[in-house]
Amino acid sequence: MVRLVSASCLLALLLGAASAGATSVLRYTWGDPSGVVLNQDWAGPQTYTQTLTVTGLTGQVTRIHVTLWTNMVTPQAWYMTINGAAPANDCLGHPAFFASPAVAGAQALPGATLSAVGWWFGITSPRPRIELDVTLDPPFTADPGTRYAIATLTFDHANSATGTAYPPTACGDADQPFCFVVNYPWYGRADYTVVGMALEQDAISWQNAAGTTDCHLVVPVKPTSWGQLKSIYR
C-alpha cells in the first residue's frame, strides 16, 4: 500500500477550499481514516475496505451526498460496484459489496441512514458510479472540530482472481488498475442551504502503486452547478 499525501499538496487544497468559502473537508481513503492511503494493491482473495469521513461540518445537518466515479471499463472482479444497492453481489452471485454509516475511529452521525448504490450511468458513454447518500433524522447540530463518519465500504474479494477467469471459476482481472474519483461532495442543512466539501484528495486507486494509471484521464467528470444541487436538495 502507498501512504503518500504531501503536506504542500494538502495545504494547497485546503487553502483553495478556504478561499472559496468552504470549510468542510472530506477524507476518502483505503482502510483506517486516521491517515490517507491513496493506493491499495491486490493481496489475494480477502476483504478490502474504504472509509469516508468529514471535518468542518456546521449548522443543522440533514443530508450528506458523495458520488464516486469508477473506471470506464470495470474489471470483472469489481462487478459488485455496478450491481445495484449494497449489499450487492459479485460476478458469482455472492454478496460482496457492503456499506455502513459507521467508521471505526470517527464519530457516528446520530440518526444516520446510508444508501449506497452502484450502477451504470449514461447511454452513449456509460460510466460506472457509486452514489452515497446519508440522511439524518432528526437533523443534528454539527461540531466543526469533530471528524464524522460518512461510510465504510467493504469489498469482499473472496471469489476474485488475477488474470483471465470466468464464472463459475472466479471473477477475473483483480490485478487490473482501477480508480475511484470523488465528484462534488456536499451536505445539506435544515435551512435548505447546500454546502460543498473540500477534498484532501479527489481519487484513490487499486493496483496502481507506480501511478501509471492517471485516474483523472480515466474518469472524466462533468461538473454539476450548485444551482442544480440546490434544486435537487429542495
Domain boundaries, the chain: 7-233
Q: What is the dihedral of CA 102, 105, 110, 112, to 10 degrees?
A: -20
Cis peptide before 87 (omega within 30 of 0): yes
What percent of the chain is helix, strand and coil (3-state, nearest 5)?
15, 40, 45
CATH topology of domain 7-233: Immunoglobulin-like (2.60.40)
pLDDT in tens, 183-233: 889 999 999 999 999 999 999 999 999 888 888 765 444 444 434 444 444
Instruction: Output the pLDDT for position 123.
Output: 59
Query: Would the pTM count as exceeding 0.85?
Result: no
For CA atoms 119, 216, 188, 57, give the dihedral sign.
positive
Q: Determine the average pLDDT of the residues in 14-37.
A: 75
Instruction: Output the pLDDT for position 82.
Output: 92
Contact, 54 vs 147, CB < 8 A? yes
**141 vs 3, 39, 60, CA distance in Å?**
33, 34, 4
Residues 6+ apart with CB under 8 A from 126: 120
Instruction: Output the pLDDT for position 96.
Output: 98
Instruction: Output the pLDDT for position 217.
Output: 64
